[in-house]
Amino acid sequence: MVLVSGRAHPQLAADVAEHLGTEVLETETRTFANGELYARYSESVRGADAFVLQSHTDGINEWIMEQLIMVDALKRASAKRITVVMPCYPYARQDKKGRGREPISARLMADLFKVAGADRIMSVDLHASQIQGFFDGPVDHLFAMPVLMNYFKEKVGDDPNLTVVSPDMGRVRVADRWSDQLGSPLAIIHKRRDPKVANQVSVHEIVGSVEGRTCLMVDDLIDTGGTIQKAAEALKASGASKVIVAATHAVFSGPAKERLHCDAIDEVVVTDTLPVPAEKRFETLTVLSIAPLLARAIHEVFEDGSVTSMFDGAA
C-alpha cells in the first residue's frame, strides 16, 4: 500500500496514515511562477496499490489539478491500482442541468480523473448519490453519519424533546435515517431557491412540530451558511428551544463564520473532510475527525474487503 497526499490538507493525510499504521509517501510538489504544478514521488511505486488523498478546499481548482497530476505521475510510474480519495467531491452541486446550456461539472470531474488514470474513487457524503454513476469504475460512497452519530448519541441521545430537521426536501431521506437512529420525530423545512442567484434562499414553512424542542438540523455541506442561518431563524421563530447543526463538509466560504456564530444556532458540528483553519473557527463549532473512517475504508479496499459492511449494508 502507498498513501500519497496533495498539499490541501496534510493533517488529514497524516491522521489517516497514523490509523493505518503507515506513513504518507514523501512527494515533491511545487508551483511554478506561472501557476503550473509539478509532482514527483521520492520512491518507486511500481506495482503499488496507491491511494491519492486530496481535500478540495479554498483554491479548489488548483487542488483538483494537483491531484490529477499526482494520479498521472502514479500511472506513468506503473502503479498497479490508483484510488482517488476525495473526502469532499469537487463540483458535486453541479450534478444535473437545472436550466438550458448549463454544464454537468460533477460528471466532468469523474471523466478527468478517469482519463488521468484513476481506477477507483472514494468520497464521503456525495451531494447526490447519482454521482456514483458518473465514474466508469468502482466508487466507494462513504457516510460520515457514524462519526457524527456517535457524538450526538452521547450529547443529546437521551433528550426526549429532540427533533431531527431536514433543511430542505433533498435531505429528507438522510434526515429520516437520523430520525430512526435517534428515535426522534422528523421535521422538514420547505424552502425555495432562486436558480439565477447563488446562495440565496427563502424559507417558507416548517412541516412538523418544533415548538419547545431541541432541533438537530442535518445537511451534507455548509458553504456560505445562508441556508442554515435562515433555517435556524425559522425554527427559533416557530418556538424551537435549541438549534444544533450537523454537517459533513465545512466549506465555510465568505461570511459563513459570522452567519453560523449567531443567536439562532446553539452549536455547529462538522467533520474535517475539509481543513477548518483557526480563522474560520468559532466558540460554538465542534470539528470531528473523519480520519478513522477513511482509514478503515482504505484498509478494506486494500485487503479486498467490504466497504459496504462499514455501514450495515447501506453503502
Roughly how many angstroms between the first and final C-alpha of the chain, as a whole number? Answer: 24
What residues does 269 pair with on adjacent strands?
Answer: 246, 286
Assign residue 101 a region: left if phi > 0, alpha if psi is -120 to 50, beta otherwise? left
Tell if the pTM clears 0.75, that is, is over it: yes
Q: Is 242 a catalytic residue?
A: no
**What 8-state DSSP symbol labels residue 46?**
T
* Strand pairing report for 186-193 and 162-166: parallel
What is the C-alpha separation between 287 and 277, in angstroms, rounded?
11
Note the pLDDT tens digit of each residue in 114-135.
Answer: 999 999 999 999 999 999 999 9
**What 8-state DSSP symbol labels residue 171?**
G
Assign residue 239 a region: left if phi > 0, alpha if psi is -120 to 50, beta otherwise? left
Q: What is the pLDDT of residue 218?
A: 97
**Using an 8 Å Cβ cutoff, are 191 and 168 in contact?**
yes
Scanning the structure block, which residue is given the C-alpha cell 511545487?
30
Scanning the structure block, which residue is given the C-alpha cell 460554538?
284
**What 8-state DSSP symbol labels residue 303?**
T
Scanning the structure block, which residue is given the C-alpha cell 431521506?
173
Which of 97, 153, 155, 191 is catalytic? The answer is 191
Tell me the mean pLDDT per 10 residues along the chain, length 315: 98 98 97 98 98 97 98 98 98 95 98 98 96 97 96 90 91 92 94 64 79 97 94 95 98 97 98 98 98 98 95 64
Rg of the Cα atoms in the chain: 20
The H or E element containing residue 205 is strand 201-207
What residues does 169 pair with on adjacent strands?
Answer: none
